[in-house]
């Protein structure tokens, strides 16, 4: 069984190397929510990759109807295209 972590702006200065030492092999990193990018996304995904972890990303929509859900999904897709070049071995979570 593999163990991992979920990180976002709430884990400022997270020590990914320590997480690997503690047996964590992957990180699912928050890329954003509704209409903003997570402030620590770049630091968190780069920290996880630098520590040798597999990564995935997640996004938190705040949609109340179909049209706003479409807009959230498009924003999420744009964030991924503009900010990720690494392979997302742990998936994309919406």
Look up the pTM and report it: 0.91
Q: Give how many domains the chain has, as a whole number.
A: 1
Token pair 């949609």 is at which residue?
63
Q: How confident is the model at residue 94 (pLDDT cuts 50, 70, 90)?
A: confident
pLDDT digits (tens, 9 = 90+) for 33-88: 988 999 999 999 999 999 999 999 999 999 999 999 999 999 999 999 999 999 99
Which CATH number characterizes residue 84's domain? Answer: 3.20.20.80
Length of the chain as a residue count = 94
Name the strand (E) or helix (H) holding 70: helix 66-83
By residue range, what is the domain housing residue 68? 3-93
């Amino acid at each position: 069984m593999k163990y991992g972590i979920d990180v976002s702006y709430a884990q400022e200065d997270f020590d990914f190397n320590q997480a690997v030492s503690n047996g964590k092999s992957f990180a699912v990193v928050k890329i954003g929510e509704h209409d903003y990018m997570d402030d620590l996304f770049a630091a968190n995904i780069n920290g996880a990759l630098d520590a040798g972890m597999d990564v995935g990303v997640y996004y938190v929509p705040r949609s109340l109807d179909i049209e706003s859900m479409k807009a959230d999904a498009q924003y999420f897709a744009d964030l991924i295209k503009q900010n990720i070049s690494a392979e997302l071995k742990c998936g994309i979570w919406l």
